[in-house]
Amino acid sequence: MRRLSFLGKMKMNRPTILTGDRTTGPLHIGHYAGSLANRLRYQDSHELFLLLADTQALTDNAHAPEKVRRSVIEVALDYLAVGIDPNRTTICLQSHLPPLAELSMLYLNFVTVARLERNPTIKDEIRARGFGRDIPAGFLCYPAAQAADITAFKATIVPVGEDQTALIEQTNEIVRRINATAGKTILPEAQAVIPQFGRLPGVDGKAKMSKSSGNAIALSASPEAISAAVKAMFTDLTHLRIEDPGQVEGNVVFACLDAFDEDPATLEEMKAQYQRGGLGDGRIKRRLDDILQALIGPIRTRRAELAEDHAYVLDVIRSGTEKARSRTEVTKREVVEGLGLFVL
């Protein structure tokens, strides 16, 4: 009995992490290296909430609600297939958590349009999406919505890519304003944790593998699709013959081997040989193909089994969302009351 309650206490004191993914398509090997592998480790040491961010996905996908809807199950399947355990980790659906939307509306009054426009992450993303002057208002304001997501769970740790730290800074500015207005600390500040692994480039050689760019290898890819993607992978345009010296920098095959090859000594030897000349693209691609087939194979099998059990997947999302709803409802109340607003 005693032991159990001690364990219960330990569980309660674990730091809270909020993270998640926009539901814009199935997850890819970049997600595995950059975020999923870490999340698997966090499951024991932290209280982990994974947000299926369908509302955020809409901020630049309002023309494709069907894709956003379909991807909710795709992303949930990917989570479960890689080993996210719904008994330890809460998987929840953003659009079905009203406190997140309510807090977003409140927070929008604690941030200026000028500040949103100055956010470096948003500036880069607006440029990358070619919005010009036609920026969806939801997109410009998503940092306030993200502040709502983070604070509603009272998450103190938020794993983000290097390019996204400005979003956490903006969250903390809102937190400080809310706390100052309330005259007490209602919300904790969050810390951005940048994963050691940087960013996996796209198979086309672009800086980032991404769901929306058509340059990804999905965790659900068929053996043939994996081989075709590896075969077409960008290597080094000047490495024409096997005996030519080749570049490792900017070579997508080596970037993927860096991420997934578990034999670093052999990999270093291969890099040296490639740079000297004498190692063909065919050999490095075969090695990567084998490694990716071994990584993705079991995930694909598990995913296919889970996809057969639609009711189970729905149940995981439903019960996680319910748990998240009560948790975030408490925070919303604390904010409303803390600010001294009318409560019926």
- Nearest to ligand ATP of 68, 178 (CB atom): 68
- Nearest to ligand ATP of 160, 253 (CB atom): 160
Indicate whether 95 belongs to the interface with ligand ATP (CB under 6 A).
Answer: no
Instruction: Identify the CA nearest to 335 among candidates 112, 172, 168, 184.
Output: 184
Radius of gyration of the chain, Cα coordinates, nearest whole angstrom? 22
Q: Residue 40 Cβ, how far from ligand ATP at the closest point, in Å? A: 14
Q: Residue 254 Cβ, how far from ligand ATP at the closest point, in Å? A: 15
Instruction: Judge whether 288 and 255 are in contact, CB under 8 Å.
Output: no
Stretch that binds ligand ATP, among 32-40, 217-225, 261-269, 299-307 (CB under 6 A): 32-40
Query: How far are the Cα atoms of 6, 219, 260, 266 from residue 26, in angstroms, in the given order?
Result: 40, 7, 19, 32
Q: Residue 199 Cβ, how far from ligand ATP at the closest point, in Å? A: 4
Stretch that binds ligand ATP, among 33-41, 171-179, 250-258, 289-297 (CB under 6 A): 33-41
Q: Which residues from 168-187 bind ligand ATP, rule CB under 6 A?
A: none
Q: Which of 16, 18, 24, 148 binds ligand ATP (CB under 6 A)?
A: 24
Total residues at the site for ligand ATP (CB under 6 A)? 18
Indicate whether 22 belongs to the interface with ligand ATP (CB under 6 A).
Answer: yes
Indicate whether 199 belongs to the interface with ligand ATP (CB under 6 A).
Answer: yes
How far is the C-alpha of 324 from the C-alpha of 342, rounded, in Å? Answer: 24
Stretch that binds ligand ATP, among 29-37, 81-89, 184-192, 225-233 (CB under 6 A): 29-37
Indicate whether 165 belongs to the interface with ligand ATP (CB under 6 A).
Answer: no
- Nearest to ligand ATP of 35, 328 (CB atom): 35
The residue sitting closest to ligand ATP, measured at its beta carbon, is 34
- Give 203's contacts (C-beta < 8 A, 6+ positions apart): 209, 215, 216, 217, 229, 230, 232, 233, 234, 252
- Nearest to ligand ATP of 253, 335 (CB atom): 253
Indicate whether 21 belongs to the interface with ligand ATP (CB under 6 A).
Answer: yes
Indicate whether 31 belongs to the interface with ligand ATP (CB under 6 A).
Answer: yes
Instruction: Judge whether 258 and 267 are in contact, CB under 8 Å.
Output: yes
Indicate whether 39 belongs to the interface with ligand ATP (CB under 6 A).
Answer: no
On the 0-12 / 13-18 / 19+ scale of CB atoms within 10 A, 63 is exposed
- Nearest to ligand ATP of 106, 135 (CB atom): 135
Indicate whether 161 belongs to the interface with ligand ATP (CB under 6 A).
Answer: yes
- Nearest to ligand ATP of 57, 111 (CB atom): 57
Stretch that binds ligand ATP, among 22-30, 77-85, 325-333, 335-343 (CB under 6 A): 22-30
Query: How far are the Cα atoms of 186, 250, 316 from residue 308, in angstroms, in the given order?
Result: 44, 40, 14
Q: Which residues from 206-265 bind ligand ATP, rule CB under 6 A?
A: 208-212
How far is the C-alpha of 141 from the C-alpha of 117, rounded, in Å? Answer: 9
Indicate whether 94 belongs to the interface with ligand ATP (CB under 6 A).
Answer: no
What does the binding site for ligand ATP look like in residue numbers (CB under 6 A)?
A: 21-22, 24, 30-31, 33-35, 160-161, 164, 199-200, 208-212
